[in-house]
Amino acid sequence: MSAREVAITPFDGQKPGTSGLRKKVNVFRQPGYLEAFVQSVFDSQTDLRGGTLVLGGDGRFFNRQAIQVILRMAAANGIARMLVGRAGILSTPAASAVIRRHGAQGGLILSASHNPGGPDGDFGIKFNIGNGGPAPESVTEAIYRRTTQIDRYRVFDHHDIDLDHVSLQHINDMAVEVIDPVDDYAALLETLFDFDAIRALIRRPDFRFRFDAMHAVTGPYAKRLLVEMLGAPADAVINAEPKEDFGGGHPDPNPAHAEELYRETVLEGGLDFAAASDGDGDRNMILGKGIAVSPSDSLAVLAANATLVPGYAKGIAGVARSMPTSRAADAVAADLGLACFETPTGWKFFGNLLDAGRITLCGEESYGTSSAHVREKDGLWAVLFWLNLLAAKPGETVASLLSAHWRRFGRHYYSRHDYEAVDTGIATAALQRLRDALPSLPENRIGEHVVTTADDFAYTDPIDNSVSKGQGLRVVCGEQARVIARLSGTGTEGATVRVYFEVFESDPARQHDDVQARIAPLVDFAERITGLRKASGRSGPDVIT
């Protein structure tokens, strides 16, 4: 059998964003579209030839078809061995774990993460490198450059691989190993946490606990870890069957999209601990009775208490957070004498710091937290971390843990306002108004705060000195407050503007106020400068987290 070459012409806009290439399913289903991108990966990443590649996705519509196409192309491009999750399933953190454990040269993860699925929803593809993490900008740039010149792809004519049984199959001389998607990942998490202590906590009759997989990829992972290994009742894991359209919802774990879980736990106090994850299993939302944990606070709490967890008992090397993430983790790092790094939005920027051993924990405000055990954010890891903390601190609740944390380190009130599917011209102009105003902002007042610096965030990677510019506009009032605005790099419709607000409060008597009330002066300030609501004709954000 010999590989066939199919002539194609380049498609516009195959530029990976914050996390891979994301487009409407219809765009991906155009003849040659997926093939053009995948061939560009093979053409630009020549070290994959003769190597091992990991392949799997979040189970959304088009996942299985895309996997069959990629397998036939991989064989024609000289890949020696493919590791594919059974049923085409691999959560993003599990794919990272598999790449690392099997010494693969990289992986292709098929997901548009928290974006809706189904035939009218989104699809996505992301290339991860040999460290298990998302490709850095230098690699995504090389792939993108290749997509602008691609003129053919290589493929074998071959029948579909049976994805539904753990097995060894072949396409020509390429081995296709269909693997259990959970085994490697579960084994890794078992080395990090005190499973006996968590098991005892979960079995306590007064500990009411639920995990919502949101009809997405974490279902099988949560069932294995929480039910089979940790003894939770079967009904503690809900929406556990991955569906091609995620049951018609947004698989995005936040108070807006995991609305029922939020109501039951935070508003009605009916559960002591609840958590949810997103489409591809890398995000986590942590809720306690009567309280939602802000993801920025979550990172800070995990860092402050890491030594209570076996995998981090010897201490952590340092922490990193994305720029818009609140500075709660910085306060912990300063107190504990740990290194602390501020990176652009997107997990790819943590990879070098993790590889160099400069940090152990990292996180983003967008419900992402993880550690050096993989090179992706990891939803269930964060859930187990919180359970382990609660198990290690008998008598504490999520709420009491947070209150104690704020008393010690101060509280960073935090909220993100998203304006979705805004006309691209209107969004760009609004941000440009803020950009133009930056030099004149220092010394201006925002409520009780005074602007100290205002800039367009640029990052120099401390390990390889690569520079990433234009990573978000920020207005900083010393340690007291920040307003940040940037355009989303994961949306597929118009432009999504994200505005982030942070206010610091050291006085314990003022640490239990309403978040939106505390940031209100910052919200007014942002509108005054950007004119975004006015220009887009909106009365407020589409989503508040």
Catalytic residues: 113
| Axis-axis angle for helices 398-409, 295-305 (nearest 10) | 80
- Is residue 474 a contact residue for ligand VG1 (CB under 6 A)? no
Distance between CA atoms of residues 161 and 141, nearest Å: 32
**Binding residues with ligand VG1: total (CB under 6 A):** 18
In 3D space, the residue among 303, 268, 311, 312 whose CA is nearest the CA of residue 287 turns out to be 268
Distance between CA atoms of residues 66 and 56, nearest Å: 10
| Interacting positions 146-185 with ligand VG1 (CB under 6 A) | none
Per CB under 5 A, the list member of 45, 113, 345, 536 interacting with Co ion is: 113
Show the site string, 259-278: x = touches ligand VG1 by CB under 6 A, - = not. Answer: -------------------x
**Binding residues with Co ion: total (CB under 5 A):** 5
Measured at the CA of 115, the angle between CA 425 and CA 299, to 5 degrees, comes to 100
Binding span for ligand VG1 by CB under 6 A among 65-73, 150-158, 264-272, 482-490: 482-490
Distance between CA atoms of residues 353 and 334, nearest Å: 18
- Is residue 19 a contact residue for ligand VG1 (CB under 6 A)? yes
**Residue 23, contacted partner among Co ion, ligand VG1, none, CB below 5-8 A by kind:** none
Distance between CA atoms of residues 189 and 263, nearest Å: 30
**Residue 16, contacted partner among Co ion, ligand VG1, none, CB below 5-8 A by kind:** none
- Is residue 56 a contact residue for ligand VG1 (CB under 6 A)? no
Show the site string, 123-152: x = touches ligand VG1 by CB under 6 A, - = not. Answer: ------------------------------
DSSP string spanning 385-410? HHHHHHHHSTT--HHHHHHHHHHHH-
Show the site string, 301-320: x = touches ligand VG1 by CB under 6 A, - = not. Answer: --------------------
- Is residue 326 a contact residue for ligand VG1 (CB under 6 A)? no
| Axis-axis angle for helices 398-409, 379-392 (nearest 10) | 90
Q: Is 175 exposed, middle or buried (0-12, 13-18, 19+ CB in 10 A)?
A: middle
Per CB under 6 A, the list member of 366, 370, 371, 530 interacting with ligand VG1 is: 366
State in angstroms the smallest separation of the CB of 478 from ligand VG1. Answer: 25
- What element of type H or E holds 133? none
- Is residue 345 a contact residue for ligand VG1 (CB under 6 A)? yes
State in angstroms the smallest separation of the CB of 269 from ligand VG1. Answer: 28
- Is residue 114 a contact residue for ligand VG1 (CB under 6 A)? yes
- Is residue 489 a contact residue for ligand VG1 (CB under 6 A)? yes
**Residue 369, contacted partner among ligand VG1, Co ion, none, CB below 5-8 A by kind:** none
CB 80: neighbour CB atoms within 10 A? 16
Binding span for ligand VG1 by CB under 6 A among 182-190, 339-347, 476-484, 524-532: 339-347
- Closer residue to ligand VG1 in complex, CB, 24/289: 24
Pairing of strands 4-7, 152-155: antiparallel
Residues 6+ apart with CB under 8 A from 161: 67, 68, 71, 84, 169, 171, 176, 178
- Closer residue to ligand VG1 in complex, CB, 107/346: 346
Cβ–Cβ under 8 Å, residues 353 and 463: yes
Residues in the chain: 545
Cβ–Cβ under 8 Å, residues 377 and 266: no
- Closer residue to ligand VG1 in complex, CB, 239/345: 345
Residues 6+ apart with CB under 8 A from 115: 22, 121, 122, 124, 250, 279, 490, 491, 492
State in angstroms the smallest separation of the CB of 283 from Co ion. Answer: 5
| Interacting positions 282-301 with ligand VG1 (CB under 6 A) | 282-283
Residues 6+ apart with CB under 8 A from 221: 91, 94, 181, 182, 185, 186, 281, 380
State in angstroms the smallest separation of the CB of 58 from Co ion. Answer: 8
Residues 6+ apart with CB under 8 A from 375: 96, 100, 128, 131, 132, 133, 134, 347, 350, 351, 354, 355
Pairing of strands 285-288, 291-292: antiparallel
Show the site string, 258-287: x = touches Co ion by CB under 5 A, - = not. Answer: --------------------x-x-xx----
User: Which residue in this structure is represented by tokens 């929803």?
Assistant: 121
**Residue 347, contacted partner among ligand VG1, Co ion, none, CB below 5-8 A by kind:** ligand VG1
In 3D space, the residue among 480, 545, 478, 538 whose CA is nearest the CA of residue 515 turns out to be 545
- Closer residue to Co ion in complex, CB, 379/541: 379
**Residue 296, contacted partner among ligand VG1, Co ion, none, CB below 5-8 A by kind:** none
- Is residue 488 a contact residue for Co ion (CB under 5 A)? no
| Interacting positions 494-523 with ligand VG1 (CB under 6 A) | 498
In the complex, which residues of this chain contact Co ion (CB under 5 A)?
Answer: 113, 278, 280, 282-283
In the complex, which residues of this chain contact ligand VG1 (CB under 6 A)?
Answer: 18-19, 113-114, 278, 282-283, 322, 345-347, 364, 366, 368, 488-490, 498
